[in-house]
Structure 1
Amino acid sequence: MNLWDLGDRICILGPSNSGKSTLANAIARKRGLEAVHLDQLFHLPDTDWQQRPREEFIALHDAAIACERWVMDGNYSVCMPQRLRRATGLILLDISTPASLLRYFRRTLFETKRHGALVGGRDSVKWDMIHHIAVTTPRNRRKYRAMFEELDLPKLQLCSLPAIKQRFHEWGLTPD
């Protein structure tokens, strides 16, 4: 699949720490699209991942999807239906739970700068996040796979870190 086949409003879904934000930024640079990181809309800046009020998040989300050209990373099922109705393409990153956990620990322990991070926020290892990746994500993965199959959009599923890396190469994307 060609990157341009996905249109001008691309959703990137997948488990935490699968590389959604890095891919979104790379596509945004290549295609001249606005990169929208849902983590940044869902959480308050300058906090340790404190959530915004639900209504405020949905309003920010709906304003972002009203734009004509974007690549948006994140799941947040509370507003996924309207996002997918606006989307022209979908990428599902479907990496394994161990890979997600490894990337989470690497990110929180060793990386000082990352794509999609909160402005003024800080990453640290949190039990809630480990539980989310290890317990919640496998259930969500099944749900996202089923949804992916049902959607009638140009779509691409990448099931491993090497597959994601290969797509970066094929599309001429750079992670930074």
Structure 2
Amino acid sequence: MASSLTLAELGPRICILGPSNSGKSTLAQAIAAKTALPLIHLDQLFHLPGTHWQARSEAEFRQLHLDAIAGEKWVMDGNYVRCLPERLIRASGIILLDVHPARSLLRYIRRTLFDAQRIGGVVSPNQREHLTWEMIRYLLVTTPGHRQRNRRMFEQWTLPKVFLASPAQLIACYQAWELSRAR
């Protein structure tokens, strides 16, 4: 782990950021289970319930985001960088997953083939995740640029922060914080 911070040192409002399929939701669930912090998946705020990734209106999403960050305690996973400044004003700590695009691609393929009912961080029994070329392209072409942007932002953040750049660091973090991976 790139930082020796304890989970408690990240405080009661933790943002988890990183590429798609990097493990943000799984880590957020583990932290919420350990700390009893309310769990907020930004994908669930952005997308309409009961749909396959159909977006809400921008105004509705922004209001849901503002309502969510107004809470006194939470662990929140998701990027939505356009809303990040407001989120960071309220956040007490940040975790950045910096997973290589190839690892994200493997996680995405595994999820769509073997864990297909998991959408937006939660199990959705009436929906199935589908392998798409659009997402594969996003992971391999768009994600590398986002990783560089995320690293630059991370260097500027002054909140307590943790940078996890490899599967080994993520595993070490789970062990150090005594987190369990619920499936």
The TM-score, its normalising length taken from structure 1, stands at 0.96
- 1:140 aligns to 2:143 (yes or no): no
Q: 1:113: Cα distance to partner?
A: 4.6
Amino acid in the other structure paired with 2:47? H
Q: Deviations over 1:95-118 (max 9, x none)?
A: 101000000000011114547137
2:83 counterpart SS class? helix
Mapping of residues 17-96 of structure 1, within 5 Å: 17-96=21-100
8 Å CA contact 1:94–1:158 kept in 2: the answer is yes
Q: Sequence identity of aligned pairs in percent?
A: 54
Q: 2:148 & 2:52 partners in 1: Cα distance?
A: 29
Aligned length: 176
How much does 1:45 deviate? Answer: 1.4
For structure 2, which runs of at least 5 residues remain unmatched after alignment? none
Instruction: Output the CA distance in 2 between the equivalents of 1:163 and 1:39.
Output: 25
Q: Runs of at least 4 residues of structure 1 off by over 2 A?
A: 112-115, 117-122
Question: Any stretches of 5+ residues in structure 1 without a counterpart?
Answer: none
> Normalised by the size of structure 2, how large is the TM-score?
0.92
Aligned-partner Cα distance in 2 for 1:41–1:124: 20
Cα deviations by residue, 1:146-171 (Å, 9 ceiling, x for unpaired): 11100100000000112111110111
Please point out which of 5, 20, 38 is paired with 1:16: 20
Per-residue deviation, 1:81? 0.7
Tell me the C-alpha RMSD between the 2 structures: 1.3
Code of the residue aligned with 1:45 in structure 2: it is P
For 2:134, which of 128, 137, 145 is the aligned residue?
128
Deviation at 1:122, TM superposition (A): 2.3
Letter in 1 for 2:181: P
* Contact residue 90 and residue 155 of structure 1 kept, 8 A: yes
Q: Contact (CA 8 Å) 2:117, 2:123: kept in 1 or not?
A: no
Provide the C-alpha distance between the structure 2 equivalents of 1:121 and 1:43, rounded to a whole number of angstroms.
13
